[in-house]
Amino acid sequence: METSGMAHSEVHYFQSYNHHGIHEEMLKDEVRTNTYKNAIYQNAHLFKDKVVLDVGCGTGILSMFAVKAGAKHVIGVDMSTIIEKAREIVAVNGMSDKITLIQGKMEEITLPVDKVDIIVSEWMGYFLLYESMLDTVLWARDRYLVPGGLIFPDKAHIYMAAIEDGDYKEEKIGFWNNVYGFNYTPMQKVALAEPLVDIVELKAVVTKPCLAYSIDLYTVKVDDLSFSVPFQLEVERNDYVHAFISWFDIDFSACHKPLKFSTGPHAKYTHWKQTVFYISDYLICNKGETIRGTLSSKPTAQNPRDLDVRLDYQFEAADPKRSKGEVLTYKMC
């Protein structure tokens, strides 16, 4: 195959850059930020005179969107020192009387109100749930949201597909077979057990996508963030499969005209990219065949925002010599 699933990209390890770089990257993610902006601005009738809670407010962009849309008051909460910058930004935009910013853990601080009408939050992590703040959003929902209150966004959907990725897999995994003449296979085991967050080109996808799991933020419980769900991938062309990939879509269904965005390989770039799970070797698949499996994810014992992910797949090919199955475990931590 000539396709390489991954677009190559440089890696920055510059800590001090990262400090603010993460906020720059999120703000410059126009799919993300414009969808929030549209969801809020196009629904000013929902925000007018409402009390809004912004969970994990960062630099305060969603809080300011809500004020512009007519909110009576917005409370922004974030654990990070970025909230000091948010305070300066809110001030230079003349909104200090409309936005209250609180640094701390949502579960530990005291809000200046007993209830809020709307929760806005950009809580999504890589693979939706890695380092995500969803648990905090749910805690805030249960404690603060009035009955009938709204959540922006309110639905998330995890999708799966399989990709041909021979060249890049060789670069990322095969590399460790011979490093300047030495056997580095101990690093290979580590590399295989860590999902890769990277840009997957659409042409690398060899199956139809499959919706694996959906989350409704009005009803989901923290326990539902540990899940084990079946998936079924229909092969669309004769090709090899080197990895499964996952991405998520986000819905704002409280909007007058529902808005959504996708982080899939078919959609415009977002900073979430896609998450790649390499299998130990590869599959030889023909059009029309099906890969069946189970995707399991749960927070690790050590840290509720790290994940243990399991992929249990069975590929039954027309020719049994091509059939294969594995149970793969990954750590996102």
Residues in the chain: 333
Q: Is residue 123 at the binding interface for a copy of itself, with CB under 8 A as the rule?
A: no
Q: Write the interaction track for a copy of itself spanning residues 59-98; mark x where CB under 8 A is met and - where it is not.
A: x-x--xx--x----------------x--xx--xx-----
Name the residue among 111, 230, 240, 99 with its Cα closest to residue 163.
240
Q: Is residue 197 at the binding interface for a copy of itself, with CB under 8 A as the rule?
A: yes
Question: Alpha carbon of 220 to those of 32, 123, 139, 168, 279: distances in Å?
Answer: 22, 15, 11, 37, 31
* 24 is a catalytic site residue: no
CB neighbours of residue 14 within 10 Å: 8
CB neighbours of residue 106 within 10 Å: 21
Q: Tokens representing 158?
A: 């995890």
> Nearest distance from residue 36's CB to a copy of itself, in Å?
9
Q: How many CA atoms lie within 13 A of 85 on its CB side?
A: 13
| Single residue of 102, 139, 175, 298 touching a copy of itself by CB under 8 A | 175
Which of the residues 25 through 44 are near a copy of itself (CB under 8 A)?
25, 27-28, 33-34, 37
Q: Which residue is it, tokens 């640094």?
A: 103
Q: Tokens representing 36?
A: 């929030």
> Nearest distance from residue 173's CB to a copy of itself, in Å?
11
| Single residue of 13, 49, 112, 321 touching a copy of itself by CB under 8 A | 13
* 289 is a catalytic site residue: no
The interface region with a copy of itself, picked from 7-15, 43-51, 241-249, 278-286 by CB under 8 A, is 7-15
Instruction: Count Cβ neighbours within 10 Å for each residue of 192-227 and write b for 16 or more, e otherwise.
Output: bebbbbbebbeebbbbebbebbebebeebeeeebee
Question: Alpha carbon of 74 to those of 47, 48, 51, 171, 310: distances in Å?
Answer: 10, 12, 6, 48, 40
Parallel/antiparallel/unpaired status of strands 274-285 and 239-252: antiparallel
| Single residue of 18, 96, 177, 286 touching a copy of itself by CB under 8 A | 18
The interface region with a copy of itself, picked from 8-16, 69-77, 236-244, 277-285 by CB under 8 A, is 8-16
Q: Is residue 126 at the binding interface for a copy of itself, with CB under 8 A as the rule?
A: yes
Q: Is residue 186 at the binding interface for a copy of itself, with CB under 8 A as the rule?
A: yes
> Nearest distance from residue 159's CB to a copy of itself, in Å?
19
Interface with a copy of itself (CB under 8 A): 9-25, 27-28, 33-34, 37, 59, 61, 64-65, 68, 85, 88-89, 92-93, 126, 131, 175, 179-187, 190-191, 194, 196-197, 199, 306, 331-333
Q: Kindly list the catalytic residues.
A: 122, 131
